[in-house]
Amino acid sequence: MPTRAAKRKKVAQSTPAVSAEDDKHTTFTNWAVNHGVEINGVKPASIPDRGVGLLTTKPVKEGDRILFIPEKAMFKPDTALLRRETLDRASPQAQLAVSAMLKFGAKDSSLKLWQDVWPTGADFEDSMPMCWPASTQEFLPPPVQQPLARQLADYRNDWSSARRVCAQHGFIEREFKYYWMIVNSRSFHWKPPRGKGGSMVMCPFIDYMNHGPSGSGCNVSQSPKGYEVVADRDYDTLHNLQKVIHHLPFYVPVHHLRNPDCINMRNDQVSAGESSLNIFQSSLSEFAHADTTAEPGEEVLATYGAHSNDKLLVHYGFICSSKDGTPSPDDEIRLDQLIIPILGADIQNQLQDVGYLGGYALSPASNEICFKTEVAVRATLLTSNEWEYFIASGEDLSVDKSAEVKRYLETLFAEHCKHVKETMEKLRGLDEYSGSAPHTTLLLRWTQVLEGLETFINT
């Protein structure tokens, strides 16, 4: 019987099977390069729970240009067609969606190989709350309901602008909606260097990049000739892993890194240094999930904006979560629905007058409430003089009221935690509950809300 090592060698020597999935990404990559896209040290790969993303294929240094997309490779709204179809006054999103639908959706479209690497309609049905049935949408936390209603209103407007041209060209609403969501999640703003106004465009290859919270993304910017992505830091997985290994109470030779068995073996032996081991294992599992034909790589991310998870969920259909549960620095738990109803009409008017009615939030990363919340709660606790002094200076007039404000909110949050737990129980008890993607996302978001509130109460 061949030894394990021999088996491994044999596997390594055989030609790696190229899946249809790899194939379409290779075809699209070649197309992009032929259209002037410059790709330096990254390639598309499946990333668990994120669809496809970009992984490094070699060490990349901070400041290296990873991608460059020339203007000529971008997909732009078809202005002639839009004028002809009297759609030139429709929203920029509707204009780009109609242009994309007619071009990408044409029977023998030359852009089919780009569309082949996009998510499918079924992916959107799972991830985008705007596609969920009303009975599932009901379980969205209240702060998500408002932006969702706005998004649905925008979509309905765009559909009413586009329906005539869709019918003329033989497209149905489901198809328009697909391209509308593609544009929603994969477009950029392009301002021609000497031209008139800008427009929404799609940029091949950059649209592979997944989102990371503030401070974790590459620098994506417009240059006169196109869009470029520049590395925000050094990406050198082996080097980074070696740094971690040096902090471990044992040593794993680097040539064993790709062999998950060696980690299991070491895991049994090691009782100390657990957190280093966890970091090491999660890095290793990233290797294991990455395209096995690629060199081990790190994912390069872009920051779509300093968005809370509520906003990311409505707009992009995902929420940020880390393996160890550390909250995203951009996330916030909106408190309007808890605080506004308990303020009397007078206090609401006073807050309105000074511009502090609504927009209340708790940051789960810093475990702090925002200044607006400080002001709103003090409006119920202080005299007018004390309150106005606090608004002007950010400090309490005589005695520090921070502890009182905290106690006030703790009572409010404790009550709300009961409601959150009931909602989560209901969600788990639904007949159709099956651990489906929407249910999993909802439970994750409610869990984040609960943990944020409980941390505030308990610290």
Ligand X SMILES: C[S@@+](CC[C@H](N)C(=O)[O-])C[C@H]1O[C@@H](n2cnc3c(N)ncnc32)[C@H](O)[C@@H]1O
Cα torsion 275, 276, 280, 285 to 10°: value is 0
Question: Contact between 390 and ligand X (CB under 6 A)?
Answer: no
Question: Contact between 102 and ligand X (CB under 6 A)?
Answer: no
> Which of 209, 450 has the CB closer to ligand X?
209
**By CB neighbour count within 10 A (0-12 exposed, 13-18 middle, 19+ buried), where does 197 fall?**
exposed
Residue 223 tokens, joined: 């240059």
- Tokens 């109609």: give the residue: 98
What is d(CA 234, CA 210) in angstroms, rounded to the nearest whole number? 18
Among 91-99, 172-180, 203-211, 269-277, which window interacts with ligand X (CB under 6 A)?
A: 203-211
* Closest distance to ligand X from the beta carbon of 50 (Å): 4
CB 162 within 8 A of CB 98: yes
Question: Contact between 441 and ligand X (CB under 6 A)?
Answer: no
What is d(CA 355, CA 349) in angstroms, rounded to the nearest whole number? 10
* Closest distance to ligand X from the beta carbon of 240 (Å): 20
> Which of 128, 453 has the CB closer to ligand X?
128
Q: Strands of 333-334's sheet, edge to edge?
A: 333-334, 361-363, 368-369
Question: Contact between 445 and ligand X (CB under 6 A)?
Answer: no
> Which of 32, 453 has the CB closer to ligand X?
32
Size of the site for ligand X (CB under 6 A): 19
Phi and psi, residue 48, nearest 5°: -55, 130
Pick the binder of ligand X from 41, 53, 141, 327 (CB under 6 A).
Answer: 53
What is d(CA 159, CA 341) in angstroms, rounded to the nearest whole number? 36
- Tokens 């979560």: give the residue: 321
Residue 250 tokens, joined: 């044992």
Query: Can you list the pairs that 252-258 forms with residues at least 24 positions away whose Cβ atoms lie under 8 Å?
Result: 257/284, 257/287, 257/296, 258/287, 258/296
Question: Contact between 177 and ligand X (CB under 6 A)?
Answer: no
Name which of 387, 394, 331, 336 is nearest 360 in CA terms.
336
Pick the binder of ligand X from 39, 52, 166, 362 (CB under 6 A).
Answer: 52
Question: Contact between 217 and ligand X (CB under 6 A)?
Answer: no
Among 43-51, 68-76, 273-281, 328-336, which window interacts with ligand X (CB under 6 A)?
A: 43-51
Chain position whose Cβ is nearest to ligand X: 51
* Closest distance to ligand X from the beta carbon of 21 (Å): 11
Question: Contact between 185 and ligand X (CB under 6 A)?
Answer: yes
Pick the binder of ligand X from 114, 208, 360, 456 (CB under 6 A).
Answer: 208
> Which of 252, 290 has the CB closer to ligand X?
290
CB 46 within 8 A of CB 52: yes
CB 161 within 8 A of CB 91: yes
Question: Contact between 127 and ligand X (CB under 6 A)?
Answer: yes
Question: Contact between 119 and ligand X (CB under 6 A)?
Answer: yes
* Closest distance to ligand X from the beta carbon of 333 (Å): 19
Pick the binder of ligand X from 207, 299, 336, 374 (CB under 6 A).
Answer: 207
Among 84-92, 242-250, 316-324, 342-350, which window interacts with ligand X (CB under 6 A)?
A: 316-324
Q: Is 426 helix (H, G, I), strand (E, B) or coil?
A: helix
Question: Contact between 211 and ligand X (CB under 6 A)?
Answer: yes
In the complex, the residues that contact ligand X under the rule CB under 6 A are: 49-53, 118-119, 127, 185-186, 207-211, 316-318, 320
